[in-house]
Amino acid sequence: MPVIPLRFSTDADFGAVRALLAAHDFTDSGLCARMGVASIYDVQIRGAAHTVATSADGLDVLRQLFIDCAPVEDAVAVAHLGTDGVALLARLGLLIHDGGTMRATMLLYPNGSLYLVSDLPPGAAPAGDGAGADAVYPALTSSVRVFLSTLPHGDGARYLELCSGTGVAALLAAQQGAARAVAVDITERSTRVAEFNARLNAVALDARQGDLYDPVAGEQFDCIVAHPPYVPAAAQQFIFRDGGADGEQISRAIVARAPEFLAVGGILHVTCLVTARRNAPPRQRVREMLGDAADAFDVALLENGVSDQYAHFVKQLVAASPEEVPGMLSQLRLFNSLQVERVELVTIVARRHGEARPGFAVATPRNADTRWPEVAWLLQMHAFLMLGDRALDRLLEARPRLSPHVQLDLSYRFVPADDERWVPSGGMLTVPYPLVSKVSVDAGDAAFFASCDGSRTFAQIMAQLQAEGKLPADLAPRSYMTPLASLVALGVLETDLLPFPRRSA
């Protein structure tokens, strides 16, 4: 097994590396501006060592070494980073001399407020130093972006990250003031990298090696988060990637054992693949994974992307080597036997509600603006609606206003008559925030929605509509509120009772 090249030096050296990187604007904003991309997640990691244009400054040198995986001449590295800077990076095992040039031994990159190291891509590592099946995957992919975007805040929490890799989630939690941040991974390599990243960012992290929950037996946490391996694979080739024959093997184990380790009020947050099977949609399957504890949890499934199983396998087969094809065909037969209809990339968010009621399960698409406050609002809203009639009674006294984010698209039909004209026949309300939803409405509903301006309660609006003869005089208030409560839950109507979270910048 390849030896990890990192060296654990002094706190002073780690602090000096942070200062060196910052001094050359090796930051999210600095790299994005230099590389002409909108986000650090749009940065392309090179797959093989290569040569690039002459360096103009220290940022170019750092980019060439740690992002482009390219060698830099010793003299050029020293000219822009200084003799002490080059020696510092070498002292931590991040650089090695290679025949008159300097080469990186690991990727090094900013991610928000963090600096992270992870393994070089295949073909880019110096001879004999490349990682094997236990490679530490970079925290710069689109799926990592999705995972991090909706993480619960760490402030004051007992925080556990499983399948931690770089330890990015636990490190963020530690920066946010977690009472305790624990990162667990099955490989020694990932455990050591997480420890190195903690030192690099000067945060307190407890990195442990072991299989899922085994290293934390008997402990309780307020947040358990994971971005586990989930690619369907007949045989494991890469530990960070392969998730068993159906892709759910590790995710199921994380969800199934969460009730042992999650405190009341705690959050489980897992970004993974879940298959939809005949008569068993993903939200039902996730509840089944919780076993006998299912009713103790409220579940929200954030939908990040969907493909049917055949499209999924065709995409995989195109990129497969001849040796991989038989195993993939075996997987396809397995998916058929399991009656898999589609494959969904989701983020499972489960809250241990601690109340004397059954749990609920909802599924909703997410968008680029979805963050933890929006997910927390969704959970709070549906927990409130679980009060049943009591929720309807309280909503009657709430003041609704039409969401400022809503869009109404009307459909028209042509009416052949003496005054040939187009008549509204229906419409679709699209709401992108707090979460994505679409609602079919009648053309006449537009006037009602426009009247919801926050100045009157639902009860007052109902009384006016009854006085105008637009609602039956004997309509029960709860019957009136039932469909409106659904519109509140979908974010079409906002109330002063459960206002939307402040929109993320």
Give the pLDDT confidence of 139-149 residue by residue, as tens digits: 998 899 999 99
- Give yes or no for residue 421 having a pLDDT over 50: yes
* 424 strand-pairing partners: 412
- Give yes or no for residue 279 having a pLDDT over 50: yes
pLDDT band for position 369 (cuts 50, 70, 90)? confident
For position 238, what pLDDT does the model report?
63
> Are 459 and 471 within 8 A, CB to CB?
no
Strands (E), 278-334: 297-308
For position 128, what pLDDT does the model report?
47
> If we measure between CA atoms, which residue out of 367, 242, 348, 334 comes closest to residue 285?
348
> Are 298 and 197 within 8 A, CB to CB?
no
Between 23 and 407, the more confident residue is 23
Buried b (16+ CB within 10 A) or exposed e, 278-289: eeebbbbbbbeb
Between 504 and 120, the more confident residue is 120
CA angle 197, 350, 244 (to 5 degrees): 65
pLDDT band for position 174 (cuts 50, 70, 90)? very high
User: Rounded mean pLDDT of the chain?
Assistant: 88
> If we measure between CA atoms, which residue out of 225, 197, 54, 52 comes closest to residue 136?
197
Single pTM value for the model: 0.90
CA angle 419, 423, 427 (to 5 degrees): 170
Per-residue pLDDT tens for 288-298?
Answer: 999 999 999 99
Q: How much is the average pLDDT of 300-325?
A: 76
Domains of the chain: 11-112 (no CATH), 142-384 (3.40.50.150), 392-495 (3.90.930)
> If we measure between CA atoms, which residue out of 260, 174, 152 comes closest to residue 213?
260
Q: What distances in angstroms separate CA 439 from CA 78, 382, 436, 480, one per listed residue?
A: 61, 18, 10, 18
pLDDT band for position 98 (cuts 50, 70, 90)? confident
> Are 226 and 173 within 8 A, CB to CB?
no
Q: How much is the average pLDDT of 28-44?
A: 90
Q: How much is the average pLDDT of 293-312?
A: 84
Between 482 and 46, the more confident residue is 482
> If we measure between CA atoms, which residue out of 33, 108, 44, 98 comes closest to residue 72?
98
Query: How is residue 6 written in tokens?
Result: 């990192």
pLDDT band for position 135 (cuts 50, 70, 90)? confident
- Give yes or no for residue 49 having a pLDDT over 70: no
For position 310, what pLDDT does the model report?
66
Q: Position of tokens 């490190």?
A: 171
For position 195, what pLDDT does the model report?
97
Distance in angstroms (rounded) separating the CA atoms of residues 72 and 78: 10
- Give yes or no for residue 184 having a pLDDT over 90: yes
For position 44, what pLDDT does the model report?
81
Per-residue pLDDT tens for 59-95?
Answer: 999 999 999 988 999 999 999 999 999 999 999 999 9
For position 418, what pLDDT does the model report?
57
Q: Position of tokens 């680029």?
A: 368
For position 131, what pLDDT does the model report?
64
pLDDT band for position 51 (cuts 50, 70, 90)? low
For position 198, what pLDDT does the model report?
98
- Give yes or no for residue 307 having a pLDDT over 70: no
- Give yes or no for residue 361 having a pLDDT over 90: yes
* 208 strand-pairing partners: 184
Q: Which of 26-35, 417-426, 444-453 is most confident?
A: 26-35
For position 63, what pLDDT does the model report?
93
List CB contacts of 414: < 8 A, sequence separation 6 or more. Answer: 420, 421, 422, 423
Report the percentage of the chain scoring pLDDT > 90.
Answer: 63
For position 505, what pLDDT does the model report?
52
Query: How is residue 478 written in tokens?
Result: 């709860």
Q: How much is the average pLDDT of 242-246?
A: 70
Q: How much is the average pLDDT of 485-493?
A: 94
